[in-house]
Structure 1
Amino acid sequence: MKLRESTLWPGNTPPAPAFCGESERAKIIAAHGLDSLADDPELTAITRFAAQLCDVPVSLVTLVESERQRFLGSTGVEVDGTPRSTSFCAYAMMGSGLLIVPDATRDPRFAEFELVTGDFGLRFYAGAPLISAEGAPIGALCVIHTVARPGGLTEFQQQGLAVLAQAAKRRIQGRRETRENEAELARRASEFRTLGDWLPDIIWSADGKGRFDYFNGRWQAITGGKPPIEADDWRPFIHDEDHEQTFGNWTNSLARGEAYENEYRLRQSDGGWRWTLSRALPVKDESGAVVRWYGTLTDIDERRRQADTNDTLAHELAHRIKNVFALISGLVSVRTRGREELREFGEDLVGTISALGKAQDFIRPTGGASELRGLVRAVLEPFTGEDGRLTVQGETAPVGARAATPLALVLHELATNSVKYGALSTDSGAIDIALREEHGDGVVLEWTERGGPEPVEPDPGQRTRGFGTRLIDMSVTSQLDGTIARDWRKGGLAVTIGLPRDTLAS
């Protein structure tokens, strides 16, 4: 078999690396973080197989440093390294292929090495260079025997040793990439923490079970306390009056894996309390399980105090407006008293003003719930009382301040007409209100009268002449952007009003 012969270097000192100087090579070796690969199981397994493949007692994966060579993986030796001055691998790593020394006693480069002349008695050596991604020599995979082998290695053994060297190189490069990735993650985490500490909000994170593992520096600055780990650790920092809602909402969000939002008073470092908006979002894996939580605490104390002030002002304004309505109603009653020709007009006008008052009560901050069902009941209660003459069923919807007034006027006019001519003009009559959604973006209010006198459908030429009819139509179509349809059924008048949801909520 033909053996590959390598260039002979004078003396016992290998030439300087072709890629770079020793200082640059040392930096590249350090970048690998190879200390963690000492006695690495994978590299040791490679040396074990290399020894069996080449039928030798010793195999090594070496790292050649400036003064010493270390064994990252070894088979057949108990030491962890040797001086570089007697390193065969320092020569092998400089080549582009295998370095094979059939008999070291006959090779002038190595004949005087202590490994050759001493008790170990090294005779045969074959090593494959380990080169970094930049091309810098860092060590070798070698096989060693104490018996000279004039025939060297078979071609199959040479190929196998080269393949195993590539595997060792991949393991070493993989460790470097892992280390670099860890360093990059650490750098990003450091940047995140630095950025987090500069933000005005408190930022935190928790694992999927809600165990807190990170708070930015704002927590310490604002609360002056130790960051919580478990949910119960928050209790000293949350006002007693806010405990039930705060922890109840968090427990529900944690159980359902849903976003969390709540407002509560957070204890400050000076012992005071400030209103805080707490928000958290879950991060889920492919199966839908929550793996992390990220949250913020935002100071909203000024906003809350301003809102409280605004509520007080709105309450006072609403009270004064209601007094104005009462004054106008009183003036109308006084001016129409004793004048029979104005009595009906005065009663209608007072009723309309009363409906506006109901709407005002409904939309003011301290009034009832801002939803459609509540407004219907509030406006119609004076006409139907509590004796079952009014039923309201179906889906409700939000009602905004702008829509509440015209809608209240529409309901009042319909009720007034029912008292005069429809179901409410009899003792047994009643009104059924049905609420439902339409195509997801609309709300339908169906008004159905029953038990009253059979309605008489107006002459087509007279339908739009009544003031009440014009008021209803104008309120629905012009102010509420809706539609209205009337049906004079045998059992009583039916009115269908369609309203856009966004207009209703405005």
Structure 2
Amino acid sequence: MDVLDPLTISEEQRAAVIRAYDLSGYRDSGCLDDLAAFAAELCGTSVALISLVEEETQQFLAAIGFEERQTPRQTSFCARAMVAGDPVMVVPDASADPRFADFPFVAGPPHIRFYAGARLLSHEGVPLGAICVISPEPRPQGLTDFQYRGMEILATAVMGRLQDRRAQLEHMRTVEASEARVADSEQRFRTLADTMPQMVWSTQPDGFHDYYNARWYEFTGMPDGSTDGEGWNGMFHPDDQDRAWARWRHSLATGDPYQIEYRLRHHDGTYRWVLGRALPIRDAEGRITRWFGTCTDIHEQKLALEEREIVSQELSHRIKNIFAVISGLIAFAARSHPGFSGIASDLRDRITALGRAHDFVRPHSPQSQPKARQDSLHGLLGDLFEPYRGDTDARIRLDGEDVLVDDRSATPLALLFHELATNASKYGALSVMTGHVDLTVARQQDVVTLCWQEHGGPALEAPPQRSGFGSQLVELSAVRQLGGSVRRDWHAQGLIVTIEVPLAAFSRPAGVGPCR
């Protein structure tokens, strides 16, 4: 901080600094009496004062041998001492000094003659007053060097104590202001929380619940404060309590966001589904200082979703039955028309493949859920290739990266690889017991490459002269429906089919679902 020139400081500046010390009534504390007494003893005087010079008066913060609590500033020695050029102003004989000879305390009692005052400067350089010694006897010799230096040190000691008081007061004001801001912020938060439609709550870092907004008490019908601490868990459905506790303890231990659906007891005694969420608030060092959470009533949406799932499962089950009926009708037609049996067999196999693809991605109940993930390309192909598995190992070996799939891509993928597997069974590697197929999946940026490579089948002397319906179906599935490309390489060792498909064709973006 820059130090100011005492001679250029305005009274407004001095008054502002003096207020920072809040020295009203400070004399009664006696905090500076020992320094005043030591000054009197050091200089051998009967009077010693520590003065604070204000706009109209000077008040004494400590006084030895002097009863007055304050005197007018216009007749103050200390008012001159605090702006003097030297650290200590010495007046050997005030009666012979034209600056002070007419002062009442010089002309009359206590008949001041000798005065020595060390100025008191704040750390900004603002003059506040002086620590001084007074005697009714003149001292032509003034102060000794030891006494002069001692008065300087005492002035520094006085300011040290006053500065400690100022710092303490500023700290208290800062704390009070901070507490006021916190209280205002807390009030604003509570007002905002009470206007929200969700139930809002907060906890201490250890998870102790200490706040719920008005919506919580309206929903639960519980008295204020009755669910603080761990009482909140008693509001959950008994079947959800252990699960909610385990999830909450995990979040407290790891700092992970908290999210769970559970049934919460309503004030009418029923249980309603709610979505609970919470996030931690951290300080600059990353320590959790609070948790803030919400509970959102999702009961109606939950029931609607469950109803939709039931309907969806029922429709999917009926579609699966339709596939079975169509396959049966084809088989019946083939028996009635023997010449149709070859085509019927191929058609029935293709419908069966479509049925397997549909069954893989359709909505399931917990009892009918497939073992593999329903959004997994590996899972879909593994299920599709199950009929080609040998006695000891898989005839079609799947390797490489997995890719997310959905109901949109499952059908063309099932048709595509069903045709490749069927052709391999009739003419290629799967037509002999020693043959097998390697199917490799590789993803590079936005393109997925699927490489079908046959090994150990009959030697190929030349590519077929024409393409059949199966080849056309492969083109239809890969190119028209998936937007990809197909390349066939006919080698003596076996057929290689390279299929490139845009990654976006396999599944919809997150959050985009199928049309209902």
TM-score by length of 2: 0.67
CA distance in 2, matches of 1:455, 1:110: 132
Query: What is the rounded CA distance, in whole Å, between the counterparts of 2:35 and 2:448 in structure 1?
Result: 78
- Give the one of 210, 215, 218 matched to 1:218: 215
Distance 1:244 1:450, change over 3 A: farther
Deviations 1:175-234 (A, max 9, x none): 43442233122212210111012112222333444344443333322234446565x544
Matching residue within 159, 183, 187 for 1:186: 183
1:298 Cα deviation from its structure 2 partner:
1.8
CA distance in 2, matches of 1:401, 1:89: 96
Q: Give the Cα–Cα distance (whole angstroms) in 1 for the partners of residues 21 and 188 of structure 2.
A: 23
Indicate yes or no: 2:411 matched with 1:409: no
Q: Retained in 2: the 8 A contact 1:89–1:127? A: no
Maintained 8 Å contact 1:101/1:107: no
1:400 to 403, 406, 410: 406
Alignment of 1:206 with 2:195, yes or no, is: no
Q: Which structure 2 residues correspond to residues 238-277 of structure 1 after superposition, within 5 A?
A: 238-277=236-275
Letter in 2 for 1:280: A
Residues 457-472 of structure 1 mapped to structure 2, 5 A cutoff: 458=463, 462=466, 465-472=467-474
Q: Whole-Å Cα distance in 2 between the matches of residues 322 and 96 of structure 1?
A: 107
Q: State the shift of 1:421 in Å.
A: 1.7
> Does the residue aligned with 2:381 lie in a helix, a strand or coil?
helix
The alpha carbon displacement at 1:309 in A equals: 0.8
- Residue 388 of structure 1, CA deviation: 2.5
- Are residues 305 and 97 of structure 1, via their aligned partners in 2, closer, same or farther at CA, if it must alter by over 3 Å? farther
1:419 corresponds, among 401, 425, 428, to 425
Aligned partner (choices 159, 165, 173) of residue 176 of structure 1 = 173
Distance (whole Å) between structure 1 residues aligned to residue 412 and residue 379 of structure 2: 15
Equivalent AA in structure 1 for residue 179 of structure 2: E
Q: What residue in structure 1 maps to residue 477 of structure 2? A: 475
AA of the residue aligned to 2:429: A
Using the TM superposition, give the Cα deviation of residue 403 of structure 1 relative to its aligned residue in structure 2, in angstroms.
1.5
Between 1:261-270 and 1:213-222, the stretch displaced more is 213-222
Does structure 2 conserve the Cα–Cα contact (< 8 Å) formed by 1:50 and 1:161? no
- For the residue of structure 2 that corresponds to 1:406, the secondary structure is helix
Report % sequence identity.
33
Q: Deviations over 1:256-291 (max 9, x none)?
A: 332232222222233322212222233445665544
Aligned to 1:342, which of 340, 343, 358?
340
- What SS does the corresponding residue of 1:298 show, helix, strand or coil? strand
Q: How does 1:304-323 map to 2 (within 5 A)?
A: 304-323=302-321
Q: Contact 2:120/2:159 (CA < 8 Å) preserved in 1?
A: no
C-alpha change, 1:167 and 1:405, in structure 2 (3 Å) is same
1:283-307: per-residue Cα shift (whole Å, max 9, x none)? 4456655444332222221211111
- 1:73-122 residue CA offsets vs partner (Å, 9 max, x unmatched): xx899xxxxxxx94569999xx9994999999x96599999xx9xxxxxx
Whether 1:447 aligns to 2:445 is no
Q: Distance in 2 between matches of 1:52 and 1:488?
A: 112
Relative to structure 1, the CA distance from residue 422 to residue 156 in structure 2 (aligned partners, 3 Å threshold; closer, same or farther) is: same
C-alpha separation in 1, matches of 2:362 and 2:265? 32
Give the secondary structure class of the aligned counterpart of 2:294: strand
Taking a change above 3 Å as real, the CA distance of residues 157 and 328 of structure 1, as seen in their structure-2 partners, is same
CA contact (8 A) 2:60 2:70 kept: no
* Aligned CA distance change for structure 1 residues 220 and 52 (closer, same or farther; 3 Å): farther
- Whether contact under 8 Å (1:481, 1:500) holds in the other structure is yes
Residue aligning to 2:380: 375
Q: Deviations over 1:433-472 (max 9, x none)?
A: 4445434x5544443444433456525x74xx33322322
Amino acid of the structure 2 residue aligned with 1:402: R
Distance 1:157 1:451, change over 3 A: same
Contact 2:459 2:493 (8 Å CA) reproduced: yes
Letter in structure 2 aligned against 1:396? D
1:291 and 1:38 map into 2 onto residues whose CA distance is: 40
**Stretch deviating more after TM superposition (474-483 or 182-191):** 474-483
Structure 2 residues not aligned, in runs of 5+? 1-5, 84-88, 95-99, 509-516
Match of 2:513 in 1: none
User: Mapping of 1:481-500 within 5 angstroms?
Assistant: 481-488=483-490, 491-500=493-502
Give the structure 1 partner of residue 193 of structure 2: 196
Q: CA deviation at 1:484?
A: 4.0
Note closer, same or farther for the CA distance 1:253–1:430 as it changes in structure 2 (3 Å cut).
Answer: farther
Provide the rounded CA distance (Å) in 2 between the counterparts of 1:316 and 1:76. Answer: 99
Compute the displacement of 1:317 (Å). Answer: 1.4
8 Å Cα contact 2:82-2:130 kept in structure 1: no
Matched to 2:430, the amino acid is L
Is the 8 Å Cα contact of residues 263 and 275 (structure 1) preserved in structure 2? Answer: yes
